[in-house]
Amino acid sequence: MSAFAHVPASKPDAILHLNTLFAQDQSPNKVSLGVGAYRDENGKPWILPSVKAAEAVISADLTKYNKEYPPQPGYPLFLKSCQEFLLGEDHTAIAEKRVASCQSLSGTGSLHVGMCFLMNNYAGHQFYMPSVTWPNHYGIFEKAYGKQSKYLEYTYLFKDGQLKIDFESMKKDMNNAPNESIFLLHACAHNPSGIDLSKDQWMEVLAIFKAKKHVAFFDVAYQGFATGSFEEDGFATRLFAREGVEIVVAQSFAKNFGLYGERVGCCHIVHTDQNNAQLTLNLQGYMCLIVRQTWSMSPVHGAYIVQTIGQDPELKKQFLVDVQTMSSRIKKMRQMLYDELMRIGTKGDWTHILTCIGMFTFTGLTPAQVEHMKVKHAVYLVTQGGRMSMCGLTEKNVAYVAAAMKETVENVK
């Protein structure tokens, strides 16, 4: 008998498992609206033209892009590009040398590095998650902080099912938290709900963070992808970094560069000590230590792509157009789905399909309705909030999806 015979079956990941089920589904009408990955108007994966062009630059010069081990924190031009995409080229935090950066493995790796950093260097400070969040946040927290550590939650949406932010309760939770707590915040395009704070609300949150000296831990997985503008989507991060709040950032390039499988990202710590370059180096050094002990060095190919685009004005211009292509197709699909639901007389209020932002929408469909959508119509959604990835909608399947939703809300509670 195997020494490992006691190992039980693991529960499949609630999001990723949908891809397996979808692949097995024989229905000719099947539609994948589960895992968040961009699809073009034909429902196919899309390699950004700017990414293709950058790969041509890279493969034409394999003496420069030579697949050697990278420097521990990542290539300097990669880190520069990451900071510029995140904060803008002329941000004061960059000028004041307050930004410590270390390459990482997409969003998850960057969250891991950031949480391990806080666990080891800011222990005893209470960690807060939004009351609705990406389920993997819980697992990453447990890995970094250990099973015995407990995070608390701050209010995000109304608890009665309204698809709106309960801002008064959120502020109350932030104000009632012990000083110097850590709050995980979605910088833009909240996953899973698609419901974001307004700029005015961010200003109010900033005031609380300054007064309470809270640390803001930003998950930045959708910058540029949500509105088509890095500046708009970077509003909160840029504001907090400018206004003297200590921030940790998990930056992913999966969605905005379409570099899902490359696993490229960056963890940043923006401290508040102006011109203390030694502290910046110390923070970077600590992140390098975590990376070294976990996966040693981060992979280079995705980093080459990000830095090639980030440092070439023409490629960067093309990239910003590509990002807009994706975000405007999503906005168009929001409108088409909404219009179709209205045209066929679907009961209920569906305005949130228009007002949500980014890749996802909480449809409000119940777990039973999500199951029915899958079994009866071969339309795959995430159970949590009936989350729909808007990227899976196309002009060809939107009417089918709307009809499935109508039938489902009429017949399943």
- Nearest distance from C-beta of residue 390 to ligand LMR, angstroms: 12
- Nearest distance from C-beta of residue 134 to ligand LMR, angstroms: 6
- Nearest distance from C-beta of residue 334 to ligand LMR, angstroms: 17
- Nearest distance from C-beta of residue 251 to ligand LMR, angstroms: 14
Among the listed residues 127, 290, 281, the one whose alpha carbon sits nearest the alpha carbon of residue 216: 127
- Residue 134 known to be catalytic: yes
d(Cα 22, Cα 185) in Å, to the nearest integer? 31
d(Cα 237, Cα 113) in Å, to the nearest integer? 18
Q: Please give the size of the binding site for ligand LMR, defined by CB under 6 A.
A: 6
- Nearest distance from C-beta of residue 381 to ligand LMR, angstroms: 11
Q: Which residue's CB is nearer to ligand LMR, number 35 or number 405? A: 35
Does residue number 306 form part of the binding site for ligand LMR (CB under 6 A)? no
Around 286, how many Cα atoms within 13 Å sit in the side-chain half-sphere? 18
d(Cα 311, Cα 314) in Å, to the nearest integer? 9
d(Cα 9, Cα 365) in Å, to the nearest integer? 29
Q: Which residues contact 207 (CB under 8 A, 6 or more apart)?
A: none
Catalytic residue among 46, 134, 202, 350: 134
Catalytic residue among 255, 322, 350, 374: 255
Distance (Å) of CA 162 to CA 20, 27, 193, 368:
31, 33, 11, 18
- Centre a 10 Å sphere on the Cβ of residue 212 and count the other Cβ atoms it contains: 16
Does residue number 264 form part of the binding site for ligand LMR (CB under 6 A)? no
Q: Which residues contact 412 (CB under 8 A, 6 or more apart)?
A: 366, 368, 369, 372
- Nearest distance from C-beta of residue 338 to ligand LMR, angstroms: 22
Report the residue number whose CB is nearest to ligand LMR: 36
Q: Which residue's CB is nearer to ligand LMR, number 88 or number 130? A: 130
Q: Tell me the three-class secondary structure of 195-264, residue by residue.
A: CCCCHHHHHHHHHHHHHHCCEEEEEECCCCCCCCCHHHHCHHHHHHHHCCCCEEEEEECCCCCCCCCCCC
Q: Which residue's CB is nearer to ligand LMR, number 136 or number 229? A: 136
Q: Which residue's CB is nearer to ligand LMR, number 136 or number 169? A: 136
| Helix ranges restricted to H, 344-397 | 352-355, 367-377
Catalytic residue among 30, 46, 196, 219: 219
- Position 6: which residue type? H
d(Cα 94, Cα 287) in Å, to the nearest integer? 18
- Give the one residue of 134, 154, 202, 218 binding ligand LMR; rule: CB under 6 A: 134
Residues 136-155 that bind ligand LMR (CB under 6 A): 136
d(Cα 229, Cα 208) in Å, to the nearest integer? 27
Query: Per-residue string for binding with ligand LMR, 33-72, x by CB under 6 A?
Result: --xx------------------------------------
- Nearest distance from C-beta of residue 132 to ligand LMR, angstroms: 13
In eight-state DSSP terms, residue 270 is: E
- Give the one residue of 15, 79, 82, 140 binding ligand LMR; rule: CB under 6 A: 15
Q: Which residues contact 44 (CB under 8 A, 6 or more apart)?
A: none
Q: Which residue's CB is nearer to ligand LMR, number 30 or number 190? A: 190
Q: What is the number of helices (H) and of strands (E) in the chain?
A: 16, 11
Does residue number 191 form part of the binding site for ligand LMR (CB under 6 A)? yes
Q: Which residue's CB is nearer to ligand LMR, number 134 or number 257? A: 134
Q: Which residue's CB is nearer to ligand LMR, number 270 or number 391? A: 391
By annotation, the residues acting in catalysis are: 134, 219, 255
Task: Enumerate binding residues for ligand LMR (CB under 6 A).
Answer: 15, 35-36, 134, 136, 191
